[in-house]
Amino acid sequence: MHAHKILYLLDNLEKYICQALLGFFAVVLFAQISLRALFSIVLPWSEEISRFAFVWFVFLGASYASRLSAHNRVTLQFKLFRSEAVGKCCMLLSDLIWVFFNIVMIKESFKVIGNLKAFSFHSPALGWNMAYVYYIFPISFTLMTIRILQVNYIKFFLKQEIVDVDKVNPEDYKQMAEELSDSGRT
């Protein structure tokens, strides 16, 4: 039971962090705007910290999108073939190239982080060492690699369908439509 829960948490890890980061920078920016408009107080650090939170949010969100298999592909050309196998094999191949791309990115980001540490670059407002901000790249590209492999494992070994997140489910809007037609017309 416990192990199950931990696995569930890990499966949704990026989602939780992203929700927290998004909430965080939205609140910080709102505080900045309100303080400026109401009391003419200008916070020197608020924009920078929200921008850094945003960068982390984007690249963790990209990993979350990989888990959902949501990255847009052009798949129309596969309809030319009778069997689905062609498309499946091609996309598996492309995912392997993706893993290779990510490994290059991980290696290169450690190089950049090393340079930033050696020359100790600091952010202008917060005075943070930029190397720590750049740690998002090895983290997110590693997570993305894991997610790509996980999705292919689910597809080919567990033989489960990955739900298409772009498909809007009309049921989600059903309640809204019912409320409107109940109360609106006489």
The single residue among 35, 70, 139, 146 that binds other proteins, judged by CB under 8 A, is 70
Size of the site for other proteins (CB under 8 A): 70
Would you count residue 98 as binding other proteins (CB under 8 A)? yes
| Adjacent-strand bridge partners of 122 | 129
Indicate the residue among 161 and 170 with the shorter CB distance to other proteins: 170
Indicate the residue among 91 and 154 with the shorter CB distance to other proteins: 91
**Smallest gap from residue 180 Cβ to other proteins (A):** 5
Query: At residue 122, what are phi and psi to the nearest 5 degrees?
Result: -120, 145
Would you count residue 160 as binding other proteins (CB under 8 A)? no
Closest CA to 162 of 97, 94, 93, 91: 91
The single residue among 1, 3, 74, 80 that binds other proteins, judged by CB under 8 A, is 74
The single residue among 2, 4, 82, 167 that binds other proteins, judged by CB under 8 A, is 167
Q: Which residue has the tokens 């960068």?
A: 55
Indicate the residue among 2 and 175 with the shorter CB distance to other proteins: 175
Would you count residue 55 as binding other proteins (CB under 8 A)? yes
For residue 70, give Cα distances in angstroms to 64, 109, 146, 158, 169: 9, 24, 15, 19, 16
132-136 long-range contacts (CB < 8 A, ≥24 apart) are 133/52, 133/55, 134/109, 136/55, 136/56, 136/59, 136/60
The single residue among 62, 143, 147, 152 that binds other proteins, judged by CB under 8 A, is 62
Q: How many CB atoms lie within 10 A of CB 53?
A: 19
Tokens standing for residue 13: 């890890």
Would you count residue 19 as binding other proteins (CB under 8 A)? yes
Max CA separation in the chain (angstroms)? 73
By the 8 A CB rule, do 64 and 17 touch?
A: no
List residues near other proteins by CB under 8 A.
14-15, 18-19, 22-23, 25-26, 29-30, 33, 47, 50-52, 54-55, 57-65, 68, 70-78, 87, 90-91, 93-95, 97-98, 101, 104-105, 108-109, 111-112, 115, 133-134, 137, 165-170, 172-174, 176-177, 179-181, 184
